[in-house]
Chains A and B, each alone.
Chain A
Amino acid sequence: MVEVRLEGVSKRFGRVVAVDNVSIVFEDGRFTVLLGPSGSGKSTILYLVAGVYKPSSGRIFFGDRDVTNLPPKERNVGLVFQNYALYPHMTVYENIAFPLRLRGEDEAAIDRKVHEVARLLHIEELLDRRPGQLSGGQQQRVALARALVKEPDVLLLDEPLSNLDALLRLTIRGELKKLQQKLGITAIHVTHDQAEAMSMADKIVVIDRGRVQQEGPPLEVYERPRNLFVATFIGSPPANTLPATVEHRDGYPLIRVAGSLYRPGERHAAKIREAGLDRVVVAFRPEHARLAEHPPEGEDLAFEAEVYLVEPLGRENIVTLEAAGMPVKVVTPPEERPSGRLYVVVPRERVLLFEPETGLSLDHL
């Protein structure tokens, strides 16, 4: 339908900088997820795209059209608010018909379109009710129907699933994605639920404190986090981080982490030398590590740790260990019940190294 582009957009509320010099391309017909913690500026970005807020600086484009100063109604976007924002004094039918009424479409066309979108979202039998008489999941569908009925170029979704129970959320997640693909709408979906982001997104944009931390396909963001924030924000449980010091042996940097020495690969070693680092942060994902009785052969990262807690989750166990006073989480198969002192082993290709001052990954330095 249309590509949405933010170019150096900032939004200030008095002293608060909610969005700080953000440039993002939301590709045409793709499903982009804005992911970030509470207060990071996700909703503000959506409202900027919708035209509810005007940027303090920067420009917003829909394709070639500069919409920075256009009012919401000239942008043809559909927005599903976090709290649905249905019109409580109107029936579901009237709620959905409202945007069409304002366009002055004739009654027959309105009736046809309302029923069409209601069928699509399985809310036909709710059309006569008022929003107050609906469950959260039903209200969400109505809000979605109202956003879709005007056939928007851009669909904006502000945590529309956050008020639903876990099961319903899974169902609607799938439906929403299918619907978006079917209609080919450019979708921007806001969430702070990283599982939701991973499962729905064509592209994830991680936001923190009003800035873009990383953008890319979900797997890339997951496996190659650009900085410590992304590494520790995404994943459940998130990546382990251990502070480490750099020791030089015969001019080659070795990393001392939790009492053990780890020999980084050539590429990382070069970066460490280049930046003259004497400290780094070692990180790895809990599911990438395994537990072993004995120190492994070869050059994988391995250090000793004491089992502290085992949480069986059915499909897997989450084992919390203590290594040199720091907690480390490892995901193990359900039949494994580790105890005592063990070795945490992380394959070399799974070890992530970060610069401690800026938090940037050495791969991105």
Chain B
Amino acid sequence: MALRLRLRRGGPAGEAAGADVETLERRRLNLVLGLAVGLGLAPVLYLYLLLVLSSFSNTMLTSLPLPGSGVELTLRNWEMLFRGQVAPAAGKIYTTRDIVLIILNTLVVALGVTAVVVAASVMAGYAFSRLRFRWRRGLMEFIILLHAFPGVALIIAVYAVYVWSLGPVRELLGRDSLAAYSVFYTVLARASLEIPMSIWLMKGFFDRIPWEVEWSALIDGASRFTVWRRILLPQVKPGIAALAIFAFLAGWEDLIYVRVFLYPQVKTLATFIEESVAGLETAYLPVVAAAGTLYLIPTIVFFIATQRLLLEAMSGGVKG
């Protein structure tokens, strides 16, 4: 991502400053790096391209559709997807799936994760950056350690807690609420994987605001809370946006946690695609390709729209 960005900037800017020796050197370096990255990415990009094209074809593509290969471009897959005719049983009978509901489910999980991550890390980041308390240093290192643990490694323990909690929840809220509870638990569990890194990111953003600005507001008559809300928060907005996007995508894309904790009736795009592909022999793959493309859209949109911002967050945000 970094390279792509620099390459794009390097183009016209490099020409404008053509006489500058250093710039020329940089440009050449960028070119070499760009080519290398391009070559490395080519197979992956090719596969994504095939996926997107397949979603508009009458057959699953395994190579670029050359003229005369009998491949037709069509919108039928997308129509079928949104009509819910997506999981064909043997023959031509479709088990209908409510794709809109699935998208809504995915959104609920993604937005839930976003909300939890943003709330937790904005507050914790502020505390780690601005307050001096016992074990501050140790806690921060512990958080990094947490981040180093892969989510899959934790899943057994997290599952155990989940199972233990089911009993009391059923007692208290009744059997019907269990599906909702599973969504709630999934959101919390998935968010907790994102929170450690997000706290560090937020801390970095708060660290960049000089103390003097905060003191100045205190002298102007603000309370600590007013300072936080009216002086600090507006200045860390880019950081909040960045980690909100990361959190949203994490929730949107997640398969493992969603698969393990969500009630089987509650599908998200990830589990839906997984389910469709599971019956590989019978699945009508172009429709699955359409679902896959749909699944990719937020990623593509966010990364294109916010490349600059994310880059800034990654390079500027994370500091000791």
- Residues of A with Cβ closer than 8 Å to B? 47, 50-52, 71-73, 75, 77-79, 81-83, 85-89, 98-99, 102-103, 146, 150
- Nearest A residue to B237 by beta-carbon distance? A89
CA distance A78 to B221 in the complex (A): 10
Q: List 26 A-B contacts (CB under 8 A).
A: A50-B215, A51-B219, A52-B218, A52-B219, A72-B219, A72-B221, A73-B218, A73-B219, A73-B220, A73-B221, A73-B222, A75-B219, A78-B219, A79-B219, A81-B215, A83-B210, A85-B213, A87-B217, A87-B231, A88-B213, A88-B235, A89-B234, A98-B220, A102-B222, A102-B226, A146-B220
A87 B213 Cβ-Cβ under 8 A: yes
CA distance A86 to B209 in the complex (A): 11
Task: Write the nearest CB–CB distance from A66 to chain B, whole angstroms.
Answer: 19
Counted as pairs of residues, one from A and one from B, with CB atoms less than 8 Å apart, the total is 57
Q: Which B residues, 201 to 220, have Cβ-Cβ distances below 8 Å to chain A?
A: 210, 212-213, 215-220
- Residues of B with Cβ closer than 8 Å to A? 210, 212-213, 215-222, 226, 231, 234-235, 237
Residue among B215, B216, B219, B231 with max Cβ neighbours from chain A (10 Å): B219
Task: Write the nearest CB–CB distance from B216 to chain A, whole angstroms.
Answer: 4
CA distance A72 to B223 in the complex (A): 10
Q: Which residues of A contact B212 (CB under 8 A)?
A: 81-83, 85
- Nearest B residue to A152 by beta-carbon distance? B219
A50 B235 Cβ-Cβ under 8 A: no
Contact of A102 among B213, B220, B234, B237 (CB under 8 A): B220
A81 B216 Cβ-Cβ under 8 A: yes
Task: Write the nearest CB–CB distance from B235 to chain A, whole angstroms.
Answer: 6
B226 A85 Cβ-Cβ under 8 A: no
Task: Write the nearest CB–CB distance from B130 to chain A, whole angstroms.
Answer: 14
CA distance A50 to B220 in the complex (A): 11
- Nearest B residue to A76 by beta-carbon distance? B221
9 further A-B contacts with Cβ under 8 Å, apart from A50-B215, A98-B220, are A50-B219, A78-B219, A85-B210, A88-B235, A89-B234, A89-B235, A98-B217, A146-B216, A146-B220
- Nearest B residue to A47 by beta-carbon distance? B215
CA distance A71 to B215 in the complex (A): 11
- Nearest A residue to B224 by beta-carbon distance? A71
Which DSSP category, helix, strand, loop or mixed, fits chain B's interface?
helix
A99 B215 Cβ-Cβ under 8 A: no
Q: Which residues of B contact A86 (CB under 8 A)?
A: 213
Q: Which residues of B contact A98 (CB under 8 A)?
A: 217, 220
- Nearest A residue to B214 by beta-carbon distance? A85
Contact of A72 among B218, B226, B231, B235 (CB under 8 A): B218
Q: Which residues of A contact B231 (CB under 8 A)?
A: 87
Residue among B213, B218, B220, B226 with max Cβ neighbours from chain A (10 Å): B220
Q: Which residues of B contact A72 (CB under 8 A)?
A: 215, 218-219, 221
Q: Which residues of B contact A79 (CB under 8 A)?
A: 215-216, 219
CB-CB nearest 8 A-B residue pairs: A85-B212, A99-B220, A73-B221, A102-B221, A85-B216, A89-B234, A72-B219, A81-B212
CA distance A87 to B212 in the complex (A): 10
Q: Which residues of B contact A85 (CB under 8 A)?
A: 210, 212-213, 215-216
Task: Write the nearest CB–CB distance from B261 to chain A, whole angstroms.
Answer: 40
Q: Which residues of B contact A89 (CB under 8 A)?
A: 234-235, 237
B221 A103 Cβ-Cβ under 8 A: yes
Task: Write the nearest CB–CB distance from B85 to chain A, whole angstroms.
Answer: 50
CA distance A86 to B234 in the complex (A): 13
Task: Write the nearest CB–CB distance from B224 to chain A, whole angstroms.
Answer: 10
Task: Write the nearest CB–CB distance from A158 to chain B, whole angstroms.
Answer: 9
Residue among B216, B218, B235 with max Cβ neighbours from chain A (10 Å): B216
A99 B210 Cβ-Cβ under 8 A: no
Task: Write the nearest CB–CB distance from A40 to chain B, whole angstroms.
Answer: 19
CA distance A51 to B216 in the complex (A): 11
Task: Write the nearest CB–CB distance from B182 to chain A, whole angstroms.
Answer: 41
Task: Write the nearest CB–CB distance from B27 to chain A, whole angstroms.
Answer: 29
CA distance A47 to B219 in the complex (A): 10
Task: Write the nearest CB–CB distance from B215 to chain A, whole angstroms.
Answer: 5
Q: Which residues of A contact B220 (CB under 8 A)?
A: 73, 98-99, 102, 146, 150
Task: Write the nearest CB–CB distance from B123 to chain A, whole angstroms.
Answer: 20
CA distance A86 to B217 in the complex (A): 9
Q: Which residues of A contact B217 (CB under 8 A)?
A: 87, 98
CA distance A102 to B212 in the complex (A): 18
CA distance A50 to B213 in the complex (A): 14
Q: Which residues of A contact B234 (CB under 8 A)?
A: 89
Task: Write the nearest CB–CB distance from A52 to chain B, whole angstroms.
Answer: 5
Task: Write the nearest CB–CB distance from B239 to chain A, whole angstroms.
Answer: 13
Q: Which residues of A contact B237 (CB under 8 A)?
A: 89
Task: Write the nearest CB–CB distance from B197 to chain A, whole angstroms.
Answer: 25
Task: Write the nearest CB–CB distance from B217 to chain A, whole angstroms.
Answer: 7
CA distance A87 to B24 in the complex (A): 39
CA distance A98 to B226 in the complex (A): 11
Residue among A50, A85, A103 with max Cβ neighbours from chain B (10 Å): A85
CA distance A79 to B219 in the complex (A): 8
CA distance A102 to B221 in the complex (A): 6
Q: Which residues of A contact B221 (CB under 8 A)?
A: 72-73, 99, 102-103, 150
Q: Which residues of B contact A75 (CB under 8 A)?
A: 219
Q: Which residues of A contact B219 (CB under 8 A)?
A: 50-52, 72-73, 75, 77-79
